[in-house]
Amino acid sequence: MKKMVKQHIRTSGRCARCILFVVVLFLGSCTKFLEQPSPDEFKPSTVADLRKILRYEGYPDANRSFHPYMSLLDDDIKCMGPDEGSSCWRQGRPAFTWSKKMYREMRLNGDNDPDTYGKYYQRIKGCNVVLDNIQLVKGRQLEKDQLEGEALALRAYYYFMLVNLYGWPFNDLLHTPDRALGVPLILSGKVTDACLRRNTVLEVYNQVVSDITKGCLLLEKTDEHQNVFSMNKEAAWLLASRIFLYMENWDNVIVYDDKLLAERFQLENMRFWASMSFRDTADKSQECYINPFNKEILFLYGCVNEYSYLGLSKFSTTPRYCASDALNASYEPGDFRADVYLNAWKTSGEFSKVNYKARLGKSFRLPEAYLNRAEACVRKYMQRGDAGLLQKAVTDLNRLRQYRFSSKAFVPVAVAGYYNNPQQLLQLCLEERRRELCFEEQRWFDLRRQGMPAITHFYYTDEKKKPLAYQLPGKSNNYVLQIPDMAVVNNPLLEQNP
């Protein structure tokens, strides 16, 4: 496994110009989304050629982050105070204060690569190239199915992220998905001269559902290339459950989580991790909780610099932003996650969920399946009154909590107290999501789908002055990010968010 980790990181950073025949990024330009191939580039002829294209141009780049500002938007974060010498402190301010000119200000503050929108479309283009050519190249059908399934699941993930960054929540009653603007759908890597308007949120979600549903079916047919560095059927099932959770399609959430948890159910024992944080170990593979040796990891990907704005670097003894008081206070006595996940802001950072010693930046983790299914069961119970659903939710929550608490502190949740008050159990589900999935790009999206509550951030500009208070009003337009200026300039049909 260690050899695989090193090889993955080394190869993911290599240039794939020798094999890629359509790489040019869509940035909203009306001239051409993709340029014609140059003479020294060749058209893929085998599944192996397409796999290289997907690896280099379709999978997240291990050396390029999508949105290191993501954790600064929600209520799990606070500013630690001024530090004029810290670039991450300054670069994070536009996101921390929900500025309408966020990308422009981050660039002025020294971030030379803040264009989340363009980065996602570049990865989508890589997926589209594979999907356009998969049935035209030589190779076993089983290999084609596997590769097509990966490309579809990845494209579903990218559009899911885009529509939740730049479109209104699917369940927002004031901006219904059939009318609210999402993002343009580009479903082919072929050359086109047309500008594209933004599709509706509903249209984007329909495409996401189509991609992930077909992707799951294809990945279920084969286990080839099954490892934590590739999109696989287990990760695709989890993604499907997340998508349907946001759409409030509770039945399908349960269907896909049932599939996953029937095959993969083992959680990490947090007691072991908590004990590791207080003694030295020669096993340096466990310096960060999110790592390829963690049995909860289904898919490990992306750039460790996704967390660069938090100041978690080996050159920084004090982070510029850290876990909020509310997040810290949400952990109950005996809950080891407070130490294991948030240790970076208490001692050395070696055992935190995210830190500079991580090999890759992001992951799909098994605990989310328990949380997704528990929430879906409670919400479905509130609609239909099936007592078995409430018991299933409680079983899932107890399963997760049992592996997170000390043996003395763990007290199983009893279902009897919730039959007449399912809202209270739902609240427990949401609180567990916050505690378990903090700093994994989940909280901001959860706040959006949970009604977009008001948030206050305090930002320090001078150590001699009190911090400035910035307000994000409830249901604010700033819960939907502005599309980067360059994309709007290049595409006159691309309507900006309010």
CB atoms under 10 Å from CB of 296, counted, come to 18
Note the pTM of the prediction, 2 decimals.
0.91
Written out in words, the top-level CATH class of the domain with range 226-451 is mainly alpha
Between CA 148 and CA 133 the distance in angstroms is 10
The region, left, alpha or beta by phi > 0 then psi within -120 to 50, assigned to residue 154 is alpha
Between CA 358 and CA 344 the distance in angstroms is 12
Res 40: pLDDT:
42
Res 192: pLDDT:
57
pLDDT in tens, the chain (498 residues): 555 555 554 444 444 443 444 443 333 345 444 344 443 455 899 999 999 999 999 999 999 999 999 999 999 999 987 665 567 778 899 999 999 999 999 999 888 899 999 999 999 999 999 999 999 999 999 999 999 999 999 999 999 999 999 999 999 999 999 999 999 999 998 855 568 999 999 999 999 999 999 999 999 998 665 789 999 999 999 999 999 999 999 999 999 999 999 999 999 999 988 877 555 444 444 468 888 889 999 999 999 888 888 766 555 556 678 889 999 999 999 999 998 898 756 555 455 787 767 778 899 999 999 999 999 999 999 999 999 999 999 999 999 999 999 999 999 999 999 999 999 999 999 999 999 999 999 999 999 999 999 999 999 877 677 899 999 999 999 999 999 999 999 899 999 999
Domain 9-69+79-211+462-498 shares a fold with domain 226-451? yes
What's the token pair of residue 233?
């059927």
Res 375: pLDDT:
98
Res 306: pLDDT:
87
The DSSP letter of residue 140 is -
Res 91: pLDDT:
87
Res 288: pLDDT:
81
Question: For the chain, percent helix, then strand, then coil, each to nearest 5?
Answer: 50, 5, 45
Q: Does domain 9-69+79-211+462-498 have CATH number 2.40.50?
A: no
Query: 212: number of CA atoms within 13 Å, CB side?
Result: 25
User: Domains of the chain: which residue ranges?
Assistant: 9-69+79-211+462-498, 226-451
CA 184 to chain centre: 20
Phi, psi of 203 (to 5 degrees): -65, -40
Between CA 266 and CA 45 the distance in angstroms is 41
Do the Cβ atoms of 123 and 100 come closer than 8 Å? no
Between CA 304 and CA 307 the distance in angstroms is 6
Do the Cβ atoms of 53 and 20 come closer than 8 Å? yes
Res 378: pLDDT:
98
Length of the chain: 498
